[in-house]
Amino acid sequence: MKSEILLKYGQVVRKIRLEKGISQETLADLSGLHRTYMSDVELGKRNVSLENIDRIANALDVSISEIFKQIESGE
């Protein structure tokens, strides 16, 4: 069973990515992660490390706190 926080994190990452008009492959390249890993993150299949949370936030040009604010507010 997928963890609720993993699902929410993935949904917010996907939402921000789409708002910025970035493909999953481009986000993976910008963050130095593999495209299939990024797909798993967005689907809530990966328990993302703090290092990768930071890489993804930097690639999206948002703060880590902004991602978690959106998770908490349910945006």
Q: CA triplet 9, 11, 15: central angle to 5 degrees?
A: 120
- Which long-range contacts link 30-35 to residues 24+ away (Cβ below 8 Å)? 30/59, 31/55, 31/56, 31/58, 31/59
- Mean pLDDT in the chain? 95
- Digit-coded pLDDT (tens) for 12-49: 999 999 999 999 999 999 999 999 999 999 999 999 99
What are the chain's domains?
4-73 (1.10.260.40)
Rg (the chain; Cα; Å): 11
